[in-house]
Amino acid sequence: MSHRVSLKNMVFYGFHGVYEFERELGQRFYVDLDMKADLSQAGKSDNLQETVDYVSIYNQTKEIVENHRFQILEALTYHIAGEVLRLHPLVEEVIVRVRKPSVPIAAALDYVEVESVRRREQ
């Protein structure tokens, strides 16, 4: 059986970007996580120890976005996904989406978004 646990539209202040001023001034980043896991045992037992601890995942995501600096969103999504898989053995697959609303390009748009899909290696 497969379950999906999602954390949607988390907002963090980070310092990511190709340009120096982006890494100095910072801005808001919006993050979504979708995780696939077999949580049947947790459903039967009603035990937090047998499920995905999304408070822990939120805190780990916050730490990466706010305390590390990446030039490109692809690197940020890659590192978030890697930490989720490394620290949460029940998670079989994670999809990370990061939105950056203030991009230094001459264009009218709401945001740029990068999505990374990573699966646990067998």
Alpha carbon 17 to chain centroid, angstroms: 17
Determine whether 100 is an active site residue. yes
Only one residue has tokens 């995780």, namely 35
Q: What is the DSSP string of the chain?
A: --EEEEEEEEEEEE---SSHHHHHH-EEEEEEEEEEE--HHHHHH--GGGS--HHHHHHHHHHHHHH---SSHHHHHHHHHHHHHHH-TTEEEEEEEEEES--SSSS--S-EEEEEEEE---
Which residue is catalytic, options 8, 44, 62, 100? 100
Residues tagged active-site: 100
